[in-house]
Amino acid sequence: MFDSWLDKYEYLIELGKSLEGYPESDKTDDKLIKGCQSRVWLNNKVHDGKILFNADSDAIITKGIISLLVRIYSGRTPEEILSSDFSVVEKIGLRENLSPTRANGLVSMIAKIRETASENIREER
């Protein structure tokens, strides 16, 4: 879809700008994703057995990355999230084109989404 990484970065920035509003009241330490250089907040609710994510970041590229993950995994069941291999990150070449600190942040974002899915499975039981 894109010819260069510059085009992909521009798309990530646009994704970040289109992210649903995140309430200031939810920008709390318990919603911060640990391991990200920038501040990234992730919140969720469950509706009809599906996890709906909402997120924000104080850095534009990071906001685009979390927006991409929210678009992919929001609205899925915990089981669907946990069975995903998150290969989309590799397929689009995202990880290898990020700085090491942003790549570590991406790993932390994915881990938090998986952790949220695991917690929701435990709560169902």
Catalytic machinery residues: 36
How far, rounded to the nearest angstrom, does the alpha carbon of residue 90 sit from its chain's CA centroid? 15
Query: What torsion do the CA atoms of 100, 101, 103, 106 make, to the nearest 10 degrees?
Result: 170
Which of 109, 31, 32 has its CA nearest to residue 70? 109
Question: What is the distance between the alpha carbons of residues 26 and 56, in angstroms, rounded to a whole number?
Answer: 10
Q: Quote the DSSP letter at residue 95.
A: G
Cα→Cα distances 37→6, 43, 68, Å: 21, 18, 18
